[in-house]
Amino acid sequence: MHEETAIRRSACPYDCPDTCGLLIEVAGDKVIGVRGDSEHPVTRGFVCRKMNSYERSINHPNRILHPMKRVGQKGEGRFERIAWDEALTTIASRWKTIIAEDGAEAILPYSYSGVMSAIGRHGGIAFFNKLGGSALIRTLCSSGKGAGWASLMGSSVDLDPREMALSTFIIIWGSDVPATRIHSMPVIQAARKRGVPVVLIETYASPASALADETLLVNPGSDGALALAMMQVLVAEGLADRDFLAAHTVGWDQFEPTLADYTPEAVSELVGLPADRIRDLAIRYGKAAAPVILFGSGPSRRRNGAMNCRCVALLPAVAGAWAKPGGGTIGFGSAPSPVNGATITRPDFLERPVRSINVNCLAAVLSNPDLAPPIRSLYVYGSNPAAVVGNQRSLLEQLARDDLFTVVHERFMTDTARYADIILPATFSVEQADIHTCYGYRTLMVSRAAVPPPGECRSNWNTFRALAGVLGLDDPYFLRTEEEMVEHVLENSPALQTMLDDAGWATLREGKGVDLRVEAPPVFKTASGKIEILNPSLAEPLPRYLPVEEDKYPLRLVAAPSAYTLNSTFTEREDLVAARGPQTLRMSEKDAVARGIRDGDEIVCFNELAEVRCIARVGEVMPGTVVTVGVFSAAAAPGGLTANALVRERISDMGEATTLNDNGVEVRLAGN
């Protein structure tokens, strides 16, 4: 007799702008199928290849189902099963000793975007605020882009990607749409069928090239100079919208004279495009009735990344694009902040200020002999730093230290989990209740547990509740169940009350995605109510091209996303890893020939930090640039290192962000 099945709603919890609605097919306590929810207002039943087979990850035979303690050397990945009580008692005992000897700041939480749901991602901050541990500056992805946008636009949102249906000229700028914005693809494809020109600006011919009529390859880090040159052309050709600038901006009169330094001829070599191509692009953009720029995060991951984003974000103001339906930008700040974050993170729990440590500088912090107090314990959840942050070789050496007590809350034996002293088994999104905000659209979802957690798996929230109990953190906050916490956050988010009507609330509580009511441009949420071209509060009051120090290595390394995996997530899936293929390095034919390298050769990419072995892929790449696609497992990589071993621990000009795409390297044939 067949077991009856049921369909339950959920949401994709991963680091993607779209936050898809999901339908979970359940038989008993087991997930047997996952597909897209056709009633979601954005995703409409269309989900990526990873989530189409989500049940393969949920039911994977290598999933961690019980607490474990290390029995081998750190990095070997040898553990034995223990009970939750032993795991919690061990953690509490070690932490109490550390706190007594060095204070709670010797304990560092480490998390990022492995879980994007509101409570699962941020609830741990409240726990560590109450404990008094070191604070983590979570700026691993696009905070440089956010800072550049905010410097100009404050808390304004930009366009919902669906509004591209009204655009008449589309620039995809540094965004691999098939890998990171699949629900924008049909809108772009439909626009092209209507005759709307689509231009891609990139450092290599990414999969997004298939969506464009034209691909313009540029030098990494030159985006700001290109945007300034386009603005100079708009002014010179009489295409600047002076009425819009006068009515909706502050500082145009001070800024306009600076554009004389950025003619296409002046920036051509810097950008890597002929002057006539820059001028043509600017004129086409300026003459379009409703031009839009779909902007990715890659250009922001540089020492001048925030300023580059500030310059690009200014282009629609100069063209007056914000005044036209379908005109403006997408990708800088498409989503509002409907949830009251303080209700989750509880900054009021902090009894005194604590030090802050940047997520991008973990190896440097752990190896700093002068840090007082030193980091003696690391608690990792929703992240895999051994695979995703820079200076990987040094970081692995630090994680191997016996005096660093490391706890990892995980679902699989990740690179970081291999170095843990205690591993705690984590849930999947379908096994917990949470709130799912969306950073690429204006949607919101609430999900309930579709099935109970298997084995002894616990959610982030329930794990922090248990830790609070054994450590004597007896605030009533930690007594709430997941369901109670969801309701508490919803009821205490004043902004959300204005974004939903009664019908919207009913839809939300059914587990369906809802569109939020949001004020969008030309409403600008800045102190002045206008676009603040001049921002006197900044070290750089006006946008300009911000040069960076030259690198002693000749090739610029760019890290691009993969459509088969998401950061280091889904690397447990053999089918996806096989489809993605081995660790490769893409380079131009010019650079390959100069080094005697052919497509398919085994090569070594190196700088002063490390040497990384990979396979050469010769193709359409900007000369002087090399591109690695996807995050790979260090444990499975040749030589035990990935491209992140070549990333220096530097931060961006604003936003304290990663500079993942700002590292010089050289390449040679393996064996030379």
Report which secondary-structure segment, H or E, holds 378.
strand 377-381
∠ at Cα 316 (313, 320), nearest 5°?
Answer: 150
C-alpha dist (Å) from residue 658 to 110, 201, 550: 15, 21, 18
Return the structure tokens found at 568. Answer: 């280091």
- Give tens-digit pLDDT for 62-84: 999 999 999 999 999 999 999 99
pLDDT category at 54 given cuts 50, 70, 90 is very high
Give the CA count within 13 Å in the CB-facing half-sphere of 307.
Answer: 22
Beta-sheet strands, E only, within 103-210: 107-110, 135-137, 169-173, 198-202
* Complete DSSP assignment for 481-504: -HHHHHHHHHHT-HHHHHH--HHH
pLDDT category at 194 given cuts 50, 70, 90 is very high
Phi and psi at residue 215, in whole multiples of 5°?
-115, 125
Give the CA count within 13 Å in the CB-facing half-sphere of 612.
Answer: 33
- DSSP, collapsed to helix, strand or coil, labels residue 271 as helix
Return the structure tokens found at 317. Answer: 């103001």
Q: At what angle do helices 118-131 and 460-470 cross, to 10 degrees?
A: 20
- pTM of the predicted protein model: 0.96
pLDDT category at 521 given cuts 50, 70, 90 is confident
Q: Is beta strand 611-619 parallel, antiparallel or unpaired with respect to 663-669?
A: unpaired
* pLDDT given for residue 335 in this prediction: 79
pLDDT category at 357 given cuts 50, 70, 90 is very high
Reply yes or no: is the peptide bond before residue 561 cis, omega within 30 of 0. no
- Give tens-digit pLDDT for 452-508: 999 999 999 999 999 999 999 989 999 999 999 999 999 999 999 999 999 999 999
DSSP H helices in 132-241: 143-153, 177-180, 185-193, 223-236
Q: Which residue has the tokens 């949001």?
A: 518
pLDDT category at 1 given cuts 50, 70, 90 is very low
- Give tens-digit pLDDT for 459-472: 999 999 999 999 99
- Give tens-digit pLDDT for 608-665: 999 999 999 999 999 999 999 999 999 999 999 999 999 999 999 999 999 999 999 9
pLDDT at 337 over 90: no
Portion of the chain with pLDDT greater than 70, in percent: 100
Return the structure tokens found at 513. Answer: 């995605």
Q: Is beta strand 377-381 parallel, antiparallel or unpaired with respect to 107-110?
A: parallel
Distance from chain centroid for Cα 17: 9
